[in-house]
A and B are shown apart, each in its own frame.
Chain A
Amino acid sequence: VRNSLFLILLSSFTLSSFAKSCPNIRLDKNFPNNNPKNEAKYKTMQHAPVLNQSLGICYAYTATQMADAVRRKRQLERGKSTNIHISSPLFAAVNDWENWDENGVTLDNNGDLDFPVEGGFPCQTFNKLKEDKTCPRDKLEKFYTSKGYNEKQFFKKIYEVEEKFNKKRMELAIKYMKERELESIHEKYETKVDNTFVSQVSLGLPYESNSANNEYLEVQSCRAGYKNELYNDLQLIFNNLLPAKELFLSYFSLEMFDSPYNMNILFRFICPSKERIAINTKSECTDYKVSESHIPFFDSLTDEIIDQLEEDSLPVGISYCANVLKRGKNFKGIASSDITGHKYKQKDGKDDCGRHASIVIGSREKNGSCELLIRNSWGTSCSTYSNDFDCEQGNIWIPQDVLQNNLYRIHYL
């Protein structure tokens, strides 16, 4: 009996010594009537609005909200009143062009637009913004709203104009080749000299072909720095394709718009470097995966989130199964899914996770359990969410263990 008592005492001591505390923290505002007292050092999310994403760029919303909070923290540390600077998530998504779908803006089988920027990684986008600076949201919005577009219509217009531009450019390229008695080359490459080739050559860039077909070899010789006569001639004429450029001038009043990453260039033109705002931090954004072995024993990813909130007063990015928010506390997105890389799928192959990224901006103890406050980017309405969770204008309190069952990455500075 004595031994068992000792074991029970020892195990309870061990567990309690490892058990994490649950501080009452809110980065956005104080608790109602300041009860409990807010333990946050700085309210770095104060006055930061609840956003409503439209495109599938949750990763960019996560990255820009983290960037804006860093800036507010610097102001608070210096005792200044905080400016409400809102960075453009759309600029952040387009700026992270390495994340783009290589096909660019395309139409799906139903004729709907596929957006090349949907789906991504918060830290990658944040770190790219750290290099290139953020664009004020108003700046980009003013540009397309002044032309009567919302962001989706803006993408669609870019797509349409790009199509017209490419068509015109192809017509001119073929006309030019025929005039210069290059028919034999045209005949040889009739199906091969495509938009990508013309686009790349017009910029003097190497032609990136996905095909290993030998017929491409001659064209691909441009890649090795060898510019043949055709290449040089085409480059010359493409640089003076005024009729095609006029199409763009008429829509966007811009001249620079003919590269493979033209949307990126367009956005940088609208929001030039001198008008962008630096993220003044030396820290890189780092990802931690649920399977990462460096997480200390007994220290879960959600414990790490709480530590970060307590230490840095900065929001922590999370990648998680957002289906939990709709389906309630018993939903286990991770446990019920097969993990393959970034993808979490059910055994029948259907995604039953609802991969999403948001930020965590608070923690509290409620009825003996710890809850984390997710600031989502689905607007202020609470109608989407299960009644299992307390929801305040688009901010959702979720029990720590429930989030742990649905969390696959965290992102912090």
Chain B
Amino acid sequence: VKSLLLSAIFISTIVQAKTIQVKINEIQLLVSKNCKTSKCDAIKELKKMDLKVAQEMEQNLLGGKTLGEEICRKLFKVEIERHRDNQKNEQNYCHFKDKSFISTAEINKFIYDQIYPDRH
């Protein structure tokens, strides 16, 4: 149990070490550390995203594909990388050309918090 706990802390420390919290459209998001100024590609793309387009894309998702993945691939047109921790647990990240990144789940949060404001 101790080793599991330690590895979990270790991984979260690594992720925390690589990410910072920013506020975009009043929503707290975790993005890569190189987004300290809002000039990184990840933030630029999020800010210019058309939520109506995102909502339409969600209507056509097949087979449990997530909106964050689809946005990353089709709107941002950048690659998705699958990160695995030492327990082989996975999380996908949207990686931009300037080496900034954001998890696909944070992209989901950014969209859903705006289009479903009463989702808690």
Contact = CB atoms under 8 A, between A and B. Distances in A.
A366 interface: no
Contacts of B103: 379, 381, 383
Contacts of A52: 82, 90-92, 104
A379 B63 contact: no
A119 B62 CA distance: 5
A152 interface: yes
A394 B89 contact: yes
Contact of A120 (B63, B82, B105, B120): B63
B42 to A, nearest CB: 14
Contacts of A354: 58, 61
B74 interface: yes
B61 A152 contact: no
A86 B87 CA distance: 12
Contacts of B33: none
B120 A388 contact: yes
Given A51-B90, A328-B120, A379-B103, A356 B64 contact: yes
Given A86-B88, A327-B119, A118 B74 contact: no
> Most chain-B Cβ atoms within 10 A of its Cβ — which of A55, A86, A382?
A55
Interface string A361-390: 000000000000000011111111011100
Interface residues of B, number: 36
Nearest to A355: B64
A337 to B, nearest CB: 13
Given A56-B64, A119-B62, A327-B119, A381 B91 contact: yes
B21 to A, nearest CB: 12
Contacts of B62: 56, 118-119
A248 interface: no
Interface in B29-65: 30, 58-59, 61-65
Residue among B66, B85, B108 facing the most chain A CB atoms (10 A cut-off): B66
A393 interface: yes
22 contacts: A49-B84, A49-B87, A52-B82, A52-B91, A54-B69, A55-B63, A56-B61, A150-B80, A150-B81, A150-B82, A322-B64, A326-B119, A350-B59, A351-B59, A379-B103, A379-B105, A380-B91, A381-B105, A381-B106, A384-B66, A387-B120, A388-B120
Interface of B: 30, 58-59, 61-66, 68-69, 73-74, 79-82, 84-85, 87-92, 103-106, 108-109, 112, 116, 118-120
Interface of A: 47, 49-59, 61, 84, 86, 110, 112, 118-120, 150, 152, 322, 326-328, 350-351, 354-358, 377-384, 386-388, 393-394
